[in-house]
Amino acid sequence: MHEIRRLGAGHGLEWVTTGWDIFRREPGMFVLLFLVFILISFLVGLLPLVGTLLTLLITPALTGGLLLAVETASRGKSPSFENLFAGLTDTSRRNRMLTLGLWTLIANVLVWLVAMLLGGSFIMSLMGFGAMGAGHMGGMALAGAGAGIGLSALLLALLLYVIYASALFFATPLVMLAGMEPLAALKLSLRANLYNIGAWVIFALVYLALVVIALIPAGLGLLIVGPMSIASAYCAYLDTFTNLPGKVDPAAGDALPNGKAE
C-alpha cells in the first residue's frame, strides 16, 4: 500500500534540482533517449486517421520507459534503449501501460470536445457581432450568449486539463515502476497532488519558467529541459509515496528505508 507523504511547498524546487543532478550523470544518453521519444511520437502522429490516437495510446508507455531510464541512472547504472521501450516490450508491464494510455486517450477526447464547444461559442459571438453591424439589436444578445458559453467552456477545459495532468503525473511511474493498476494509480496520483498542491504548483511554475528559457535558443534548450523534467518527476514520485519497491536516494544511488506517511 503506497501512502502519501505530506510535503512542504519547497519540495517542488528540490525535485527540479535533484532531477538536474541525475541528468548530469548521463546527459548524452538522456538527450538521445528523449530525441528518440520525440521522433517516434512525431512519426506515429503522421499516420493517417489513427496517428494522433496511437500517439496518445503509447505516450505513457514511452514516458514510463524514460522514467525507467532515470531509475536505472539513479542506481548507478547506464540507461539504455531497452529502458525506453520496456513499457511496450516487457509483457509484465505492457498491458497496464497501454490501459493507462487508453485512459489518456479518453481524457484528451473529453478536453477536445470541450474545446470544440468553445470554438462553436466563438462562432456564435462572431455571428452576433455581424448581426449588430447589420443593425439587428438581437445580435448583441447573441454575441453575449456566445461569449458567456465560450468563457465557461474555456474554464471547464482548463479545469479538465489540470485534473488530467494531476492524475497522470504520478500514475505513469506508479504503473511502470511500482506495478499498480492504471485506474487505482490515476486516483492515487490525483489525491497526492491535491494533498501536496503547494509543492506541485511550485514545481509546475519552475518547469514553465525553464521551458520559456529553453525556447530562446531556437528551442534547443528543450533537449535538456525535457529529459531533466522526467528526472524531476521521478524524484517527486520517490519523495511523495512510501513503500515503493527498491526505493533509492536519487542523489546518492543508495537504498532508502521506506518512509512513513506524514
* Chain mean pLDDT for the chain: 83
Cα angle 242-16-61, degrees, rounded to a multiple of 5:
65
Cα 237 to chain centroid distance, Å, stands at 13
Report residue 48: phi and psi, to 5°.
-65, 140
Q: Which residue type, as a one-letter code, is found at position 185? A: A
List pLDDT tens digits, range 39-65. Answer: 999 999 999 989 999 999 999 999 999
List pLDDT tens digits, range 173-203. Answer: 999 999 999 999 999 999 999 999 999 999 9
Cα 122 to chain centroid distance, Å, stands at 29
Higher-scoring residue by pLDDT: 246, 7: 7
pLDDT of residue 126: 43
Of the candidates 46, 40, 29, the one whose C-alpha atom is nearest the C-alpha of residue 63 is 40
Q: How far is CA 141 from CA 8, 108, 132, 155, 245, in A?
A: 48, 32, 9, 21, 60
Q: Which residue type, as a one-letter code, is found at position 259? A: G
Query: CB 113: neighbour CB atoms within 10 A?
Result: 13
